[in-house]
Amino acid sequence: MNVFLNDLIAYWPQILMGLKNTLLLMAVMSITGFFGGIGVFYLSISKWEIVRKWTQSYISFFIGTPLLVHLFLMYYGLPRLGIHLSAFTVCVIGFTLNVSAYNARYLMTAYRGLHKSELDAALAQGFTPFETFRLIILPQVLRLSVPSLTNQVIQNIKDTSVAFLIQYPDFFTQMQEIAAVNFQFFKAYMTAGLVYMAMVSVIVVAARKMERQIALPGLQT
Amino acid sequence: MALIEVKNLIKNFDGKNILRGVNMELHEGRSKVVMGPSGCGKTTLLRCLNLLIAPTAGQIIFKGNDITRPGVDIRRLRQDIGFVFQHFALYSHLTVEENVTLGLRKIKKMKKKDAVEKATYELERVGMFDHRNKYPAQLSGGQKQRAAIVRALAMDPAVMFLDEPTSALDPQMSREVVTVINKLYLDNITMLCVTHDPFLAKYISDSIVFMHEGVVVAEDIAERLFYDHDDPRIRQFFLSVIDHR
Amino acid sequence: MTFWKILIILAEGAGYTILVTIAAMVAGLAVGLLTAVLSRLHRKYVDIFLDVYKYIFRSIPVLVILFLVYFGLPGIGIRVPPFLSMVVSLGLVSGAYLAEIFRGAMAAVSNNEMMAAEAAGLKRTQIFSHIILPQMFRMSVPGMINEFTSILKYTPFAYTVGIPEIMKAAMTLAAMTLRGLEIYLAAGIIYFVIYKGFIMMFAAVEKKFHIPGLLVE
């Protein structure tokens, strides 16, 4: 254990940088995925059938194919067209497309449980369809989806570890390198697991707190 | 000898005395209804009698054996008691027929063919045969309760317990269920029924037990208890539940 | 090399992908079911153990667990073959999620029905197998489909431990031909076809066992 601890201390700056990269990626994709999800959701309840159909196909495709394939496609495939993207950019684009699809699906589920008479009331009162979306639909649907959306953030932090497979220097990559130096794979991965658990726990606590704050009486899933 | 004999039955729960010494008898082939204001302990009494709730003290003699003593085969006892619930409690993943045959097959160990035959016979008795392949969600309230009655009856119990069998139903459906239970009454099926519904009580009972605050205060036939009793508590109760239009 | 040819080559890896998916799904269901049974015991220490298990495997990334099992365990003298590593890792993770799905579904089974079964004289084991399980499974179907989708999403990790599935075939081919764009696009299409195939199968199963009124959520 001593050797391993010494290595952890020796590689501390690198580990810290890895953690920073992991958290950065998680934060960026959670934000882009959140707004992306709202955008995709907006399209998925469009009044034009063709838009709804294409949006459904988009959601279905990104949920039905592994994220890794999209990352590889952009990271190893695009250079052939002369497009060279950094690992970080590839991750942000790939994760955003993926997370948006999932978030849009959660919002769709919540939307189906909404009282449609409220929407008629808003339109009858003179709100435009977009105002109805922004002022009536979205505030309710977002609140109803809070548990799913926060679960997605937890999923996001775990999925950042995939970025290691396209050489993004995240936390898991750094632990991997330490293990490669001292051959203490078991301890390295155990440590990695514990750190991920700690990060997830922080998100869980924060999410519960937020859920309580934005709850409205009578509006429940 | 009585089929069921209740002696000084007591049930305390959360520091409250729900039953404070109930005495009652039920003879084979007879039908009794227990009435009384909400909270008088009538549902607790019914559930104590088949040990869904454990009594605190007192005796329950069922077929000559004290079932409050330790070592009683509770499952054996419950097979002898058909229980009908207020909210039907049909198994929602099984059809009407399967609801009836499950107990026959798993408890009575009947062959599937025999169980179906028995179910068919009992379902026909209450006019539910045509609905045998429907799921509970596809039935009206009255049909659900009739199916639940058949499910209990098909086990050939020594006694039927009915816990507010009509109170979750609207008047029309309630009438439908009363008709069925009345038929059982005329067939001399032993019954113990808890209810608020004087209409049901009148048509299915030999006598009515009136409970108040955890004790039996009177027992009489419907006419005398409903319209002509000295006890002010009883007069007041029936004034409030009987529709005098 | 035509796009069609690429598809055919990659499709050869699809067998392993499907095999890993099904094996992991079965393992996950077995673990999830076991937790459902154990949670019915209502023993304090069992419940704590189940909570800890669920928390750990829902918090640590699949990739980390897979590396711990395949590369880490030999360090303490346990050697796990690639396929088994993959199935154990995915099975334990999806088992933890399924446990939660099953718990929710069991909570939705009506107390009245269980009391009726008890009053009729059914044994506890009979109540579990004839009343609780059939309803729990049906109410869990959407959750199980989501879980299956997650498993499929993580199967490409199998290449990291040397299982010759779709991703491995794609990487090998890409290294030889330098046509990554078409190859990974083809891989995506094959995964999507597998996904759609499974979803259609599930829909057929769900339809066959559908019961009116037994709704989810």
d(CA B145, CA C29): 36
Find the closest chain A residue to C52 by CA distance.
A197
The Cα of C31 is separated from the nearest Cα of chain B by a number of Å equal to 24
Whether residues C112 and B85 touch (CB distance < 8 A) is answered with yes
Average confidence (pLDDT) over B100-109: 91
Residue A104: name the closest of A59, A73, A146, A136 by CA: A59
Residue A62 CA to its chain's centroid (Å): 13
Minimal Cβ distance to B93: which of C118, C121, C134:
C134
Comparing alpha-carbon positions, the chain C residue that sits nearest to A57 is C192
Concatenated DSSP letters of B91-133: -TTS-HHHHHHHHHHHTS---HHHHHHHHHHHHHHTT-GGGTT
Contacts of A185 (CB under 8 A, 6+ apart): A179, C67, C71, C72, C74, C75
Whether the per-residue pLDDT at C196 is higher than 70: the answer is yes
- Domains belonging to chain C, first-starting first, are 18-164 (1.10.3720.10)
Evaluate whether residue A84 is within a structural domain. Answer: yes
Stretch B12-16: mean pLDDT:
88
CB of A192 within 8 Å of any CB in chain C? yes
Distance of alpha carbon C60 from alpha carbon C106, whole angstroms: 26
Query: Does B224 have pLDDT greater than 90?
Result: no
Do the domain assignments include residue A174? yes
B172-220: pLDDT as tens digits: 899 999 999 999 999 999 999 999 898 999 999 999 999 999 999 999 9
HSE value, Cβ hemisphere, 13 Å, CA-based, for C110: 15
B148 contacts: CB under 8 Å, gap ≥ 6: B84, B85, B88, B89, B90, B99, C116
Residues B45/B9, Cβ–Cβ less than 8 Å: yes
Does A219 fall in a domain? no
pLDDT digits (tens, 9 = 90+) for C46-80: 999 999 999 999 999 999 999 999 999 998 889 99
Determine the pLDDT at residue A73.
93
Residues of C in contact with B103 (CB under 8 A): 120-122
Residue count of chain B, please give it: 245
What confidence score (pLDDT) does residue C217 get? 43
Nearest CA in chain C to A199: C59
Residues C146, A152 contacting (CB under 8 angstroms): no
Q: How far apart are CA C66 and CA C53, in angstroms?
A: 16
Q: Are strands B159-163 and B81-84 parallel, antiparallel or unpaired?
A: parallel
Total number of domains constituting chain A: 1
Query: Is A25 contained in some domain?
Result: yes
pLDDT lower than 70: segments of chain A: 1, 217-221
**Apex CA A40: angle with CA A36 and CA A46, to 5°?**
150
Chain C residues closer than 8 Å to B81 by CB? 119
CA within 13 Å, CB half, B213? 2
Query: Residue B4: its pLDDT value, please?
Result: 94
- Residues of A within 8 A of C154 (CB-CB) are 66
Q: Where are the beta strands (DSSP E) in chain B?
A: 4-13, 16-26, 31-35, 57-62, 65-66, 81-84, 159-163, 191-194, 207-212, 215-220
In a domain, A133, yes or no: yes
Residue A128, Cβ density class (10 Å: 0-12 exposed, 13-18 middle, ≥19 buried): exposed
> What pLDDT was estimated at residue A39?
96
- What is the four-CA torsion angle of A4, A6, A8, A13, rounded to 10 degrees? -160
Residue A131 lies in a domain: yes
Are the CB atoms for B93 and C138 separated by under 8 Å?
Answer: yes
User: In this structure, are residues B164 and B157 in contact, taking their beta carbons and an 8 Å threshold?
Assistant: no
Q: What is the mean pLDDT of residues B22-50?
A: 92
User: What whole-number distance in Å separates Cα of residue B50 and Cα of residue B62?
Assistant: 10
Q: Where are the alpha helices (DSSP H) in A45-86?
A: 49-64, 67-72
Q: Give the model's pLDDT for residue B245.
A: 46
Touch between chain A and chain B (3+ CB pairs, < 8 Å)?
Answer: no
* pLDDT above 90 (res B119): yes
Distance CA A106, CA A37 (A): 9
Tokens (6 digits) for A14 = 């690198």
Mutate to test the interface with A, among C53, C64, C149 (most CBs of A within 10 A): C64
Q: What is the ipTM of this complex?
A: 0.89
The better pLDDT of the pair C214, A165 is held by A165
Residue C127, pLDDT above cutoff 70: yes
What pLDDT was estimated at residue A86? 92
Asked if residue A220 belongs to a domain, the reply is no
Domain that holds residue A16: 2-214
In degrees and rounded to multiples of 5, residue B207 shows phi and psi of: -150, 160
What are the two backbone dihedrals, phi and then psi, of residue A135, each rounded to the nearest 5 degrees? -100, -25
Tell me if residue B82 falls in helix, strand or coil.
strand
pLDDT computed for residue A220 by the predictor: 59
A25-to-A18, A19, A96, A161 alpha-carbon distances in Å: 11, 10, 10, 10
Residue at token pair 């936390």 = A171
Q: What is the CATH number of the domain that holds A61?
A: 1.10.3720.10
In a domain, A221, yes or no: no
What distance in Å separates the CA atoms of residue B111 and residue C179, rounded to the nearest whole number? 66
Q: Average model confidence (pLDDT) for chain B?
A: 91
Could you give the CA distance from residue B102 to residue C120 in angstroms, rounded to a whole number? 10
pLDDT reading at B1 higher than 80: no
Q: Give, in order, the Cα–Cα distances in Å from A169 to each of A23, B154, B204, C71.
A: 12, 70, 80, 20
